Amino acid sequence: MSESKANLRNYQIQLQQVESALTTDPDNQELTKLKEDLLEVIALTKQLMASEGESEGNSSSNNATNSETSHIFEAGDHCLAPLSEDGQFYEARVEDITSDGQCTVVFKHRKVSEVCLVSLLKPIGKKRSKASVNPTQSFGDTRLKRQAVTEQKEYLKKKQQKKKERLKDLEEEREKDKVKWQSFNTKAFNKNLKGATKKSIFASPESVSGRVGVGTCGVGGKPMTEFTHQEKWKKAAGSSGMAGMVSGPMLSGPPSRLAHNHRYK
């Protein structure tokens, strides 16, 4: 029972995790299938726990009954049976016993018949049994009853075994779905990692001197393309200087000293 409880708790936790994952991805067929399998496993586990509890309860009640009464009640026996009206025990006669452990009794003081469990009957000392009249028939009835009880136990045992086999099959399917689910979560997680994105020409280069997307043609870390815009300015500046040197002396300047001396001679 303790193992079944632990398994049930584990299944319920896994069901909560799957339901939480379905809130973000409700159309995922793998998660939906896993949820259905978990629900079926939980239902089967609860049924097995209930049947195991009933078996233990029936075993304990049978042991208690056997310890209190050392004989088996049969049709025609006198006994003390509980009256459903007040729950008290009154003298009654067993009319019939069925294979499921129930019997029909007729109360002596009220002439009323009721159905109750055979395990609730109590002996009253003297017992008038059909065994004294026809012991062979009594032995045959007892053997048939025991055979019916044995068949019922075998039926319940087979039914429980089928449930266990079905539970085992569901466990294997659930493990496969669990692996798929974990793989799905891993892929979804890796999509959010930085290293999983494709390299862009606008991505930051690894080198310190690299620049983004300028003349690199998608190759980060290379220097920029060199331009010659300053050549025009240098040529223009050089031409202006030469023109100044040619026209300067012709436009202005002091008269020559030799010319001045020649004039006054």
Note down pLDDT in tens along the chain; length 265 residues: 567 777 778 778 888 888 888 888 888 888 888 888 888 888 887 877 777 665 555 555 555 444 444 558 888 888 998 887 777 888 999 988 887 778 889 998 878 888 888 888 888 865 444 444 454 544 455 666 666 667 766 766 676 677 777 777 777 777 776 676 666 666 665 665 544 444 544 455 555 555 555 554 544 455 555 555 555 555 555 555 544 444 444 444 455 554 445 454 4
The CATH fold of domain 78-128? SH3 type barrels. (2.30.30)
The pLDDT of residue 7: 77
138-165 per-residue burial string, b: 16 or more CB within 10 A, e: under 16: beebeeebeeeeeeeeeeeeeeeeeeee
Pair 68, 38: CB distance under 8 Å:
no
The pLDDT of residue 224: 57
Residue 155, phi then psi, degrees to nearest 5: -65, -45
End-to-end CA gap in the chain? 147
54: part of which helix (H) or strand (E)?
helix 29-68
- Please state the pTM of the whole predicted model: 0.31
Instruction: Report domain extents, the chain.
Output: 2-68+148-189, 78-128
The pLDDT of residue 69: 44
In whole angstroms, what separates CA 216 from the centre of its chain? 51
Q: State the Cα–Cα distance between residues 14 and 219, nearest whole angstrom.
A: 48
Which is nearest to 47 in space by CA: 214, 192, 193, 160? 160
Q: State the Cα–Cα distance between residues 207 and 202, nearest whole angstrom.
A: 14
Please name the residue that has the structure tokens 């569901």: 170
Q: State the Cα–Cα distance between residues 206 and 32, nearest whole angstrom.
A: 44
Sign of the dihedral defined by the CA atoms of residues 44, 50, 53, 55, in that order: negative
Q: State the Cα–Cα distance between residues 26 and 28, nearest whole angstrom.
A: 6
- Whole-angstrom CA distances from 249 to 2, 237, 252, 257, 262 are 119, 20, 6, 16, 22
